[in-house]
Structure 1
């Protein structure tokens, strides 16, 4: 397994936010992390990249316990794309993507041809190479998200974590971003709110409620009418789409 989470718990003060979570993600696969607001999705992502410290349990990347990995080694391996990230500094698109090379460079090392190649490839993969010289502040929301993903790809990670990457984007950019993520070929965990998008683009799903995994598996096994009602509190009709072959959810009015 690329990512293995074994009975992991996390608390803020006396409030348990992640409670005994166990999950695995196969190499190169996309796991969609679903759940209501405040269910613990973002906290779990931060635990994986060690921005938070587990109270109990073990998180492994391959055979390595993340608690034993040097910070620099973990930064070279795991990239994290947060919901919102902005700056008032006048940076070009290329400047932002260049930041992804930071974990690979020592304090005294100079910028090299390999760094340029990594940045160019990352920009190309997200379709932003023609915007490389454009100021970050002039980009649309969808374009900024593409640049954030390019920055993470320039980091050359083996695991990529994304927290609501489609938040506040229009439907075209939501589809573009998730299609891009699904085709990267690296291990991804992506927290999402939209169940239909999760069904379309994720290999497997895990549903978190009140800090605990209440369902996990293939999208067609997880996205049931019963689960949607219990976890999200809405009535739904679930059927296989004649268009893309994945499950499709229709929400029903009371």
Structure 2
């Protein structure tokens, strides 16, 4: 198992945000993490990435409990892609992606062939090798998100965590980014708002509701009209898409 979460709780300012979540993510799978705003998706991702410490419970990466791992070792293994990152600095695409090598290098270590290969491979994986010398601020939103993912891949991670990677993107770039992520040969957890995109690109879906795990499994088992009504407060009709054979959710109205 790549990631194992057992009875994890986390609180802030005395308020419990993540409540007894237990979840396993097999190696190489893409897990979609969905739920209403405030359900604990971002908090759970940060706990898995070692950016926050659990109040109680255990998170394991491979065979190792995360609380026993030095921060640098976690960073070598787990890459995190934030919702949105900007910079006004005049930097090139390559310079941004090179930041992903930081956990693997000492403060005085020279840039190596291994570092260069990791950066080039990451750029190729996201289809941005042809724009490696282009300035960051000249990229489109979709291209910037590809570069963010390339920077994460330059870490050569075993696990990739993405927090709403399609926010602020048009539908074409949303589809391109999630198709890219779903084909990567690593374990990925993707927090998403769009239930249809989660159903299209994720091997399994985990649904959070008020900090608790409401359901987990394949999309066609988890995303039912009843669950959508209970968790999201919306009436929906679900049918099979004639194009890809997967379910498609039509939202009807809010439940008052």
TM-score tier, shorter chain, comes to: over 0.9
2:172 partner SS: helix
Query: Which digits, 9 at most, give the CA deviation of each residue in 1:26-62, with x for residues without a partner?
Result: 0000000000011100000000111111000000001
RMSD: 0.8
CA distance in 2, matches of 1:130, 1:47: 35
2:239 partner SS: strand
Query: Which digits, 9 at most, give the CA deviation of each residue in 1:107-141, with x for residues without a partner?
Result: 22110111111111110110111111111111111
Please name the residue that 1:224 is paired with: 224
Alignment of structure 1 residues 56-71 onto 2, 5 Å: 56-71=56-71
Please name the residue that 2:45 is paired with: 45
Equivalent residue pairs, number: 254
> How big is the shift at 1:247?
1.2
Query: Which digits, 9 at most, give the CA deviation of each residue in 1:129-168, with x for residues without a partner?
Result: 1111111111111110000000001100000000000001
Query: Which digits, 9 at most, give the CA deviation of each residue in 1:7-29, with x for residues without a partner?
Result: 00000011111000011100000
1:108 partner SS: coil
CA distance in 2, matches of 1:87, 1:65: 34
Please name the residue that 2:10 is paired with: 10
Please name the residue that 1:184 is paired with: 184
1:176 partner SS: helix
Return the TM-score normalized by structure 2.
0.98
Please name the residue that 1:200 is paired with: 200
Please name the residue that 2:168 is paired with: 168
Query: Which digits, 9 at most, give the CA deviation of each residue in 1:73-120, with x for residues without a partner?
Result: 110000000001111221100000000011111122110111111111
Whether 1:100 aligns to 2:89 is no
Return the TM-score normalized by structure 1.
0.98
> Any stretches of 5+ residues in structure 2 without a counterpart?
none
